[in-house]
Amino acid sequence: MVCPFFVGTSPDAGLSRRMRIFLLTTLVMIAFAANSVLTRLAIVGGHIDPAGFAIVRVISGAVVLWLMLVLRGGRIQWPGTRHIFGAVTLAVYIIGFSLAYFTLDAGLGALILFGVVQIGMFAHGALLGVLPSRRKFIGAGVAFSGLVLVLWPGTGGRLDPVGAALMIAAGLGWAAYTIIGKKSDDSLADTAGNFVVCIPLVASLFWVEDTFFTPVGLALAMVCGAVTSGFGYALWYSVLPKLAQSTAAVVQLSVPVIAILAGALLLAEPLEIKIIVATVLVLGGIGLAVSARSPQAGHN
């Protein structure tokens, strides 16, 4: 039986290969969730401001990716059209992500982020001519209702509308970055190039916000940039071509769950009923949508 996690994998590919991809994918999802926790911990703890965190994060990621590339004997892929788009979408994600976590809880931010990511990717497929089935429409509608629930003004007053808008922008940026990444021929070189070109874009925050740093804040931002972002994104780019598109969407549904649990355990963030219900709706709806088959039209 062919494992559905892989495109074009034969039964003879072997259990070890499938297990390796599964473990690498799991590691990436943990890294993605850690980005939310590290960012929230650094900013809400008063160790660093959002702009400073974003700048240190992207510089740290660029340095580590460049070193990895040098050790491999390769070179950074300098900007072509795709790399410029990749850098811009990465900058939108990093800036929106960092600023949003000034007011959003780690789990809530991750839920908004990845809900928007999956709906954005779903919409992209529809625009390219992939005709959605009834099941996809229903799933997308359920997921959207979950986002509406979590974004709707309600009890507790924990949702800041500006923070939510920034995270929505970050989600759209990450969706575009993921779509661009599917076309990568050299994941490490492309990711390194994206980070390097992204530096001046993110550094523009210096013009709009005063920054401050503490040793703890710098350390958290550097770990987020070097390990969970730089290494994590390079690994994700390398895994993406080995995953079916629907699987790539499904596995990312684990990130909000990991972030919500980590936020509750490590940051003492409350688990409200509203957030739990919204999480079930978003993850269940997207799972229903991406697991459905669609008739193809125009493009694959």
pLDDT in tens, 106-124: 888 888 898 888 778 778 8
Mean pLDDT, rounded, for 90-115: 90
pLDDT in tens, 236-263: 877 877 776 666 666 777 788 888 888 8
What is the rounded distance in angstroms from the CA atom of residue 25 to the CA atom of residue 3? 15
Residue 63 has pLDDT above 60, yes or no: yes
Query: Does 235 or 155 have the greater pLDDT score?
Result: 235
Residue 77: pLDDT band (50, 70, 90) is low
In this prediction, residue 98 carries a pLDDT of 93
In this prediction, residue 5 carries a pLDDT of 41
Predicted TM-score (pTM) of the model is 0.79
In this prediction, residue 4 carries a pLDDT of 42
Residue 177 has pLDDT above 50, yes or no: yes
187-203 and 232-239 helices cross at what angle (nearest 10)?
140
Residue 1: pLDDT band (50, 70, 90) is very low
Residue 132: pLDDT band (50, 70, 90) is low
In this prediction, residue 232 carries a pLDDT of 87
Query: In this structure, what token pair is assigned to residue 175?
Result: 């969706």
Rg (CA), the chain: 19
In this prediction, residue 207 carries a pLDDT of 81
Map out the domains of the chain as residue ranges. Answer: 16-290
